[in-house]
Amino acid sequence: MWLWAAQLSYDDYLKGLALLGALVGFGVGLFQYSKAQQWKKAEFLAGEMKQFFANPRVHKALLLIDWDYCDMDLLDNVAGASHSGVTRQMQTMGLLPHVVPACACDSDTLVMGNEAFRRGFTQEEVLIRNCYDAFLDGLQRFSSYVQAGLIDASSLRPYIGYWLDCISSPAENAEDAGWRAALLSYVSFYQYSDVVWLLNAFGKDIRPSSRAYVCFLKQMSDQELASKLAETVGCKYPSNKEK
């Protein structure tokens, strides 16, 4: 009887060791798989970022975001074009939704077609829009990757965290506020909804109903334009007559 019990305990001991070995092997395999998946994600993200930053329009958009005045030749591919820098005011005018009335703008404007209520754009402003479109399209793509689980939002921060901070941080002056208000209006009006989602994942609310957006409007020197911007994205903001 004692021998049988001892034998049973020994067998159980061997089985326990075998089970422990299997668990250790499974854990090692799971760890190696997890590391391989992380490496694949990092490799995928690095490739996407390389392609993103290699885009000439994205490169220009990053410079436009970074500087109040950017010594950039937007018309470098246009014959006979002269070199000129880009100001925050030029960016603001270029980023206005096309339905903003020309009368609401401080600068001279062109009218597209026979629709007097639609604002036209200069060559420089069109190129500014194209640069920002390339930048925002990239953010849209990264946002979709995060939502699909291909990458983590935190892994994007070393690459684009600075630029997301730039477009959503408090404005330094009225001109800076106008640029930010125009950019956020552009994002909402042209339905870059995944960009809004991505910034929200970074803890930044840029919706028209957000406090940040309304603060930008209030800081603008041209309050008529601020009211028009708010109107294009459905933000409740008092017009000059209501103030």
In tens, the pLDDT along 169-204 reads 999 899 999 999 999 999 999 999 999 999 999 999
3-state secondary structure of 122: coil
* pLDDT value for 39: 65
Q: What is the pLDDT of residue 110?
A: 40
DSSP of 49-81: HHHHHH-HHHHHHHHHHH-SEE---TTTTSTTP
pLDDT for position 123: 85
What CA–CA distance (Å, rounded) separates 15 from 7?
12
Q: Distance between CA atoms of 54 and 49, rounded to whole angstroms?
A: 8
Give me the percent of the chain exceeding a pLDDT of 70: 70
The sign one gets for the Cα dihedral 154, 159, 164, 170 is positive
* Lowest mean pLDDT segment, chosen from 20-34, 161-175, 191-205: 20-34
Residue 38 to residue 46: CA distance in whole angstroms: 12
Phi, psi of 70 (to 5 degrees): -115, 120
Q: Is residue 174 within a helix (H) or strand (E), and if so which, with residue range?
A: helix 174-189
Looking at residue 116, its pLDDT comes to: 37
Which of helix, strand or coil describes residue 86?
A: strand
Q: What whole-number distance in Å separates Cα of residue 207 and Cα of residue 233?
A: 9
7 has a pLDDT exceeding 60: no
pLDDT at 233 over 80: yes
pLDDT, residue 237, reads: 87
What average pLDDT is seen over the chain?
81
2-54 and 153-168 helices, crossing angle to 10°: 40
- Return the domain boundaries, the chain: 1-54, 55-232
pLDDT at residue 221 is higher than 90: yes
Q: What is the pLDDT of residue 53?
A: 96
Interval 45-101: pLDDT, tens: 999 999 999 999 999 999 999 988 888 777 665 554 455 689 999 999 999 998 886
- Whether 209 contacts 235, CB under 8 Å: yes
Q: How confident is the model at residue 107 (pLDDT cuts 50, 70, 90)?
A: very low
Which pLDDT does position 114 carry in this prediction?
36
Average pLDDT over residues 1-30: 58
What's the alpha-carbon Rg for the chain, to the nearest Å? 27
pLDDT at 4 over 60: no
153: helix, strand or coil: helix
Q: What is the pLDDT of residues 112-128, one digit of tens each?
A: 333 334 457 888 899 99
In SS3 terms, 91-129 reads as HHHHCCCCCCCHHHCCCCCCCCCCCCCCCCCCHHHHHHH
Residue 238 pLDDT grade (very low, low, confident, very high; cuts 50, 70, 90): confident
Predicted local distance difference test score (pLDDT) of residue 42: 80
Residue 36 — pLDDT band, cuts 50, 70, 90? low
Helix (H) or strand (E) holding 37: helix 2-54
